[in-house]
Amino acid sequence: MPIYEYVTEAQEDPERSCRICRRGFELRRPADREALEKCLICKNPVKKRISQVNTPRVSKPMSVSDAKKAGFTVLEKRDQGVYEKL
């Protein structure tokens, strides 16, 4: 299930919204459900916020020994189309 982020539409009047929707909140909902229109607590209008995508980052290339320890088979190219197992 995807995680959606919501924030109140009444940002100019923070007294109308609760502390949850004022800061924004995350909600796990099925993808086929429609977006929330009201805060679950204070019933003020909320809108869905576009969230940042989490992608893995590779800080450095793996060494041959690290790859072998992780269970990968390491191959080295010898000739045209010929690979040899290290």
In terms of pTM, does the model score above 0.85? no
- In this predicted model, which residue has the larger pLDDT, 15 or 86? 86
pLDDT 10s digits, 35-78: 888 888 888 888 887 777 677 776 776 788 888 888 888 888 88
Both structure tokens of 18: 């609760």
Instruction: Give me the phi and psi of 85, to 5 degrees please.
Output: -75, 135
What are the DSSP E strand ranges found in the chain? 3-8, 25-28, 46-49, 75-79, 82-85
Measured between alpha carbons, how far is 36 from 20 in angstroms, rounded to an integer?
14
Measured between alpha carbons, how far is 83 from 66 in angstroms, rounded to an integer?
20
pLDDT 10s digits, 4-26: 888 887 665 667 778 887 788 88
Measured between alpha carbons, how far is 36 from 64 in angstroms, rounded to an integer?
49
The yes-or-no verdict on residue 28 having pLDDT over 70 is yes
